[in-house]
Amino acid sequence: MKAIDQVTVTFTSRSANEGFARACAACFAAQLDPTLDEVADIKTAVSEAVTNAIVHAYPDRLGKITMRLRLFDGGVLDIQVKDSGVGIPDVDKARTPLFTTGGEERSGMGFTIMESFMDGLKVRSQPGKGTTVTMRKRIARRAGASQ
Q: Is 68 a catalytic residue?
A: no
Q: Which of 106, 124, 136, 138 is catalytic?
A: 106
Top-confidence residue, 103 or 63: 63
**What is the set of domains in the chain, with CATH numbers?**
5-138 (3.30.565.10)
Residue 112 pLDDT: 79
Q: Which of 17, 18, 22, 52 is catalytic?
A: 52
pLDDT at 41 over 90: yes
* Global pTM value: 0.85
Residue of 147 and 46 predicted with greater confidence = 46
* DSSP code per residue over 11-47: EES-TTHHHHHHHHHHHHHGGG---HHHHHHHHHHHH
Q: What is the pLDDT of residue 59?
A: 87
What are phi and psi for residue 58, nearest 5 degrees? -125, 70
pLDDT at 147 (0 to 100): 46
For 89: left if phi > 0, alpha if psi spans -120 to 50, otherwise beta; the answer is: alpha
What was the pLDDT predicted at 115? 86
Q: Which of 17, 18, 22, 48 is catalytic?
A: 48
Digit-coded pLDDT (tens) for 47-66: 999 998 998 899 889 999 99
Q: Decide if 17 is catalytic.
A: no
